Every structure is written in structure tokens, then in C-alpha cells.
Structure 1
Amino acid sequence: MYTLLSGLYKYMFQKDEYCILILGLDNAGKTTFLEQSKTRFHKNYKGMSLSKITTTVGLNIGTVDVGKARLMFWDLGGQEELQSLWDKYYAECHGVIYVIDSTDEERLSESKRAFEKMVTSEALDGVPILVLANKQDVETCLSIPDIKTAFSDCTSKIGRRDCLTQACSALTG
């Protein structure tokens, strides 16, 4: 009887879990984006002070419930040494959010190389990608068309998967 009731409870209240990787170079705003997302979807979550967010060494994990789905965000460090570990997480993910610092034109080519390496991984074949052009609240930032132009030769590597480029400001929401 317990097994039957336990199974019914799990069936009724269990949420489908999806793992979303948050990738991008260091200082792109990945952790700020994650913290702001958690405060938006958790009514009682106060969040970390945005001024105290530092470079991620390793990984930050955040969980957000949306309807009957549970999204588990894995914010991976973006330093060059840590990028070699990204592919260890690909097999488990259902989606990728790639964050670009729109104000750092000097590192745009480095970001493009990291994106290219990520998008050509067979483990991510068919996995949808959201590209966030972060820091759009800064006047001197690159526009979405500028970023799309810089990443244009990656288009063929994206293939037939869903991909969207979106402007955002992790600080202001």
C-alpha cells in the first residue's frame, strides 16, 4: 500500500528536471544573471549582494521551479583554464545559455572561439542555445547586429538546433 501511495504522490507532484548550462568568458555576467534569475523566480530568496559576486572558480548551481518543470542552472567558470572542463557537463544538459559581455570588444574574438568550440561538440548536437548579449545597459556596448556579425561564421556550425540571440542586462533585469 505504501508503495502505491508513494508512487502516486511522486507522479502527482514530481517536477520534470532540466539542466541548463550557463557558459561564457569570465566577467561576462553569468553569475549575476543566475542570481537575478533566482530572485525573480523565488519570492523569498533575497539573493547574494551583486557587489559581492566575484569570478567563479568551478561552478555555481541554482534551481528554479517554473510550472511543472524544475530548471537546474549550472554556472561554469569562464577562465581559459576552466573552459576545458565545460565538455564534462555537456552530456547532462538540456539547454545552453551562452553569455557575452557586450562591452568587451577586445575579448569578442576570444568569446567567439569559446562559443565555436562549444557549439561544435557532438555531445551538444541538437541542444538549444540562448545567446545573451549582456550589459546592454551600458551606452558603449555592442549592439545585437554587431555581435551577430562578429559570430556570423558560427551560423553553419549551429546547424538545425534552436538558437536565439537576446539583449539583456543581468544587473537591471
Structure 2
Amino acid sequence: MCEHLQLSVALCRIGVYRCFRALCCKAPPSPRTEYALICIGLSGAGKTSLLERLCNESTNSTGPTTGFCIKAVPFPNAILNVKELGGGEHIRPYWCRYYPGCQGVVFVLNSSSSDEELESTRNELHSALHHPQLCSLPFLILAHHQDRPDARTPNQIKRFFELEPSARGKRWILEGSTTENIVAMKEGFIQLIALLEEKDREPQARI
């Protein structure tokens, strides 16, 4: 009987010790990698509302971005610090001032635009894809507003924008998106994070 009592006391002590360790000595969670991105696209593409949805913010009073704004978009394995640039015609020539230091690009386009506006969008995307400071970076291209009846599908966008020949050899993802389908929208960003991590693992060139 005495031995059983001693064993019970020992087991209780072990249980209390383990609980104490779990509560008081738990290791802090490992820090998430942060990446600096830029988000570009013409006015009306939906950049602001898209980022607000990703950050679980209200989109009721969303208006055009006239300069730039920064949002920290959290994911389980990374935090994306996204600098959204205004897409007005008078702002676009200054986009390149914000390119230094970015590690990836999010390009948002309105897939229900007119042919004329899509032509302007294509020119801006091609310019970004081949810019010296962006050409080696991963791109996430979002064909936004897929819920509109006149929206072009991602495959139609790919052909219209001639992405296969123009972006050959570059890291890019083309995904359809809507503001309402947050799950699908996040999937595109998860793929972008995978490309960013892949680029991190590349050996650095020696100077």
C-alpha cells in the first residue's frame, strides 16, 4: 500500500512539473519572415479593396489611392509589407521611385476593362516585367473582378497580354480573383510566398 501511495505521489509531481513547463517555459513562436512588396496597377483595378479584404478591414469607404499606402498582410509563415502605389496616369511615371528595396511585385488588373484600357495595362505590366530593378523578382498578376459578367478569364488575359513570350524565364503567377472570394485570393499570395522563399534559398552572387 505504501509503495502504491509513493508511486501516485511521484506521478502527480511529474504531472505538475509538466504543466508548469508547458505554462511557464513554453518557447516563443518562431518569427515570421517579412517581405517588402509593391502593388501596382491602373486606377480602378481594385488594389485597395483587395488589400483591405486581406487585412480583414472594411471596404465600405474605399477610394482611389492618390500617393501610396502600406499594409502588413499576415500569413502563417510570412508577413507581406505591401506598398500600394496609386494607378493614376500622372502617378505612374513615378512608380520606379518606389522600386528599390522591394522583393516581389503584385500587379492587379481589371479583367473587365475595355480593350483600350487593357492595352494600357499591358504596356505597364510589360514595362514592370522588364524594369532593371524588378525583372528578377517574383510577380503575382491578379486578373481581378472575375465576378463581373464581361470579365476575361485568366487564359484570355494571358493571351491578350502575351505573357508566355514576354515573361519567359521570369517567376510569375497569374490568378483570377474577386474581392468576395478571399480564400482563392489568399491562394495566389501563398504561391507568391513560395516563390519568395525559393529566391531566398538561391546562393548569393559574390561581388
Q: Larger relative CO (CA 8 A, sep 6+): 1 or 2?
A: 1
Q: Distance in 1 between matches of 2:74 and 2:153?
A: 32
Q: Does 1:108 align with 2:118?
A: yes
Please tell me whether Structure 1 or Structure 2 has the larger radius of gyration of its CA atoms. Answer: 2
In the alignment, is the contact (CA less than 8 A) between 2:55 and 2:74 conserved in 1?
Answer: no
Distance (Å, rounded) in 2 between the aligned partners of 1:25 and 1:129 = 16
Q: TM-score, normalised by structure 2?
A: 0.68
**What is aligned with 1:85?**
94
Alpha-carbon distance in 2 for matches of 1:37, 1:160: 29
CA distance in 1, matches of 2:150, 2:144: 12
Where does residue 138 of structure 2 map in the other structure? 128
Alignment coverage as a number of residue pairs: 154
State the secondary structure of the residue aligned to 1:121.
Answer: coil
Contact residue 33 and residue 171 of structure 1 kept, 8 A? no
Q: Distance in 1 between matches of 2:52 and 2:69?
A: 10
> How far apart in 2 are the matches of 1:14 and 1:164?
26
Say if 2:145 is the partner of 1:147.
Answer: no
Matches of 2:41 and 2:174, distance apart in 1: 14
* 1:135 counterpart letter in structure 2: H
User: Structure 1 residue 90: deviation in Å?
Assistant: 1.6
TM-score, length-scaled by structure 1: 0.81
Residue 17 of structure 2 is matched in structure 1 by none
Distance 1:95 1:121 in 2: 13
Residue 68 to residue 143, structure 1, CA distance change in 2 (3 Å): closer
For structure 1, the 5+ residue unaligned runs are 1-10, 40-46
1:138 to 148, 151, 160: 148
Deviation at 1:118, TM superposition (A): 1.1
Deviations 1:65-121 (A, max 9, x none): 323522101111001111112111222111111111011123100100111111110
> What pairs with 1:1-173 in structure 2 (closer than 5 Å)?
14-39=31-56, 47-48=57-58, 50-106=59-115, 107-152=117-162, 154-173=163-182
**Superposition RMSD on alpha carbons, in Å?**
1.9
SS for the counterpart of 1:86 is helix
The letter of the residue matching 1:146 is: Q
Q: Matches of 2:75 and 2:153 in 1, distance apart?
A: 30
Task: List runs of 5+ in structure 2 lacking aligned partners.
Answer: 1-27, 183-207
- Offset at residue 12 of structure 1 (A): 7.3
